[in-house]
Copies of this chain bind each other. A is one copy, B any other.
Amino acid sequence: MMVDDQIVFIVDDDERIREALSNLLASHGMRAVVFGSASHYISAVKPDIPACLILDVELPDINGLDLQRQIAEGDHPPIVFITGHGDIPSSVRAIKHGAVDFLTKPFRDADLIAAIHAAIVQDREKRSERAELGVLRQRYLDLTPREREVLPLVVSGLLNKQAAAKLGISEVMLQIHRRNVMQKMAAASLADLVRIAERLEIPITHSRRAGGSLA
């Protein structure tokens, strides 16, 4: 059976390698899409599902490691490098920058398959994490400017009274903002809101007594 909720991208300039890898993956029930160069990969429209990128280091247009750096900014699938003429500095750099593995040809099929599985598992987790964060960020965008001012004060542990004073508004008004924030952020409790704020990396302004002074 062909697993359909995940995919493997293969970027290699050698037609025979592409063919061989395609067959290997197919025999393991995995869907693969091949590209002959980095630019083809970049410009292609890729499905938005858990994936893995098998990347040859030596490509005609862009070096595999450079491609890795280029796509490092945005969201991209974990990379498994393969190479015919690898050197240690390259492998070190690749792994340091997050590559899942760095295999030298010839490699054992089992090693590649294992690396791909690890990569896809990793991508699944990363994507689910991203999705959750995305929801939170979207909710944060729904806040009004004032509410965005209230949030950090509240999660800093200030009393409503103190937070209101900081903003120069009445305590009642702050309570309303606070309540709206809780609702829009879908926080079940203050504790919840604090954890959400943590994930959104909202800075704490000036805790009632700075964050666990550790004294």
Which A residues lie at the B interface, using CB under 8 A? 86-88, 91-92, 95-96, 101-102, 104, 132, 135-136, 154-158, 185-192, 194-196, 198, 204, 207-215
Q: How many angstroms from the CA of A39 to the CA of B104 in the assembled complex?
A: 33
Q: How many angstroms from the CA of A213 to the CA of B191 in the assembled complex?
A: 14
The closest CB in chain B to the CB of A99 belongs to B92
Provide the residues of chain B in CB contact with A96, threshold 8 Å: 95
| 11 sample A-B contacts, Cβ–Cβ < 8 Å, listed by A number | A86-B88, A88-B102, A132-B214, A135-B214, A136-B212, A190-B190, A191-B207, A192-B207, A192-B211, A194-B195, A195-B198
B191 touches A194 (CB 8 A): yes
Q: How many angstroms from the CA of A95 to the CA of B92 in the assembled complex?
A: 7
A212 partner, pick from B88, B192, B213, B215, beta carbons under 8 A: B192
Q: How many copies altogether?
A: 2
The closest CB in chain B to the CB of A158 belongs to B189
A192 touches B101 (CB 8 A): no
B215 touches A188 (CB 8 A): no
Q: How many angstroms from the CA of A99 to the CA of B215 in the assembled complex?
A: 33
Q: Across chains A and B, which 5 residue pairs bring their CB atoms closest together, nearest first?
A: A157-B189, A188-B209, A157-B191, A95-B95, A194-B194
Say whether, besides A92-B95, A95-B92, A188 and B104 are in contact (CB < 8 Å): no
Provide the residues of chain B in CB contact with A194, threshold 8 Å: 190-191, 194-195
Q: How many angstroms from the CA of A96 to the CA of B115 in the assembled complex?
A: 13
Q: How many angstroms from the CA of A190 to the CA of B195 in the assembled complex?
A: 12
| A132 CB, nearest partner CB in chain B, Å | 6
Say whether, besides A88-B91, A88-B102, A92-B102, A211 and B195 are in contact (CB < 8 Å): yes
Provide the residues of chain B in CB contact with A95, threshold 8 Å: 91-92, 95-96
B157 touches A192 (CB 8 A): yes
Provide the residues of chain B in CB contact with A189, threshold 8 Å: 156-158, 207-209
A191 partner, pick from B132, B155, B214, beta carbons under 8 A: B155
